[in-house]
Amino acid sequence: MMNVIIVSKFLRTPRKLAFHDPKVAAISLAVLIAILGGCFAMGFAARGVNGAARAEVTRLNGQINQQQAELKTAREDSQREINALAARVGELQAQANRLNALGERLTHDGKLNDGEFNFDREPGMGGAEAVTDVKPADLLGGLDALQVKFDQSGRQLSVLEAMMFNHQVEMSSTPTNAPGNGYITSTFGFRLDPFTGGKAHHMGIDFDANMGDPVHAAADGVVSFAGVKTGFGNVIEIDHGNGYSTLYGHNSALVAKVGDLVHVGQVIAKAGSTGRSTGPHIHFEVHVNGVPVNPAPFLNRAHG
């Protein structure tokens, strides 16, 4: 037989439960079953709550992961756009540098006013317009428009460069440089012959010179003749292209030889009095398509 004595401060006297009593045993069993049932119910309830919480946490984690993936994609897209813009800006900067260098060279070669074409100073700008944020599409459109302007400016400057180059080539091959530093002693055209006193047609211009003074090329060209010609003594002839050629006569010595490429101002001979001559001087002729013409307009062009 098992007896349980219950002692509590709430009870005036201890109570004894005798489990051999069927009534007490039944009541005790019922209480025990109720307690166990409550515990099982609470356990199942707690398990259900934990499952719902875990499901909610899983759902929230999924949303966070999705948002992080979308944020990563957005960052990558933005970086690609930034890289593309940086590449476009780099291309435009390189083209701007090329145009600036070309402009500076043309300004120098064309002897333009540096104050008007100063490529080191940014032009002034201003205005009272309202300012708003620039959208990527507007920025790309602006870069495209700037590219078009750069292309147009590049073509225009290239054409201008070609024109200036052709002009320089033409000027360098046009006989505008005097062959000597002396004054003119005899002009082109009819004159009294210094030997006979009769009327004669002088085919060139004579420049005063001392024996051995340098004789300079009037323009760029190739020496086509270097030798003796009747009446002119020691002669140099230069072919300048475009139908132009020049002749330098009465030289005491020849410096250049046939086939030499000479440049304007280069010494090609030494002044003298060979041939039919009354004294040291430089006889200078200009021929256009083989016909002697007055050299004076060409020489005046150099100072015009």
Give the separation between CA 172 and CA 165, rounded to whole angstroms: 10
Exposure of 286 by Cβ count < 10 A (0-12 exposed, 13-18 middle, 19+ buried)? buried
Of the two residues 3 and 291, the one the predictor is more confident about is 291
Give the pLDDT score at 156.
67
Give the pLDDT score at 28.
63
Contacts of 189 (CB under 8 A, 6+ apart): 201, 202, 294
Give the pLDDT score at 36.
63
Give the separation between CA 24 and CA 14, rounded to whole angstroms: 16
User: Which domains does the chain carry?
Assistant: 184-301 (2.70.70.10)
Give the separation between CA 211 and CA 191, rounded to whole angstroms: 24
**pLDDT (tens digit per residue) in 222-265:** 999 999 999 999 999 999 988 999 999 999 999 999 999 999 99
Give the separation between CA 97 and CA 146, rounded to whole angstroms: 14
**pLDDT (tens digit per residue) in 35-60:** 666 666 565 555 655 667 777 778 88
> To 5 degrees, how large is the angle CA 158–CA 163–CA 169?
125
Query: For 170-193, what is the mean pLDDT?
Result: 85
Query: For 104-120, what is the mean pLDDT?
Result: 59
Query: For 107-116, what is the mean pLDDT?
Result: 58
Give the pLDDT score at 78.
76
CB-based burial, 155-187: b 16+ in 10 Å, e otherwise: eebeeebeeeeeeeeeeebbbbbbbbebebebe
Contact 258, 224 (CB under 8 A): yes
Which residues are 283's β-sheet partners?
Answer: 206, 249
Helix H or strand E segment including 106: helix 22-109
**What is the torsional sign of CA 288, 291, 294, 295?**
positive
**pLDDT (tens digit per residue) in 204-222:** 999 999 999 999 999 999 9
Structure tokens at 177: 């440089």
Give the pLDDT score at 304.
43
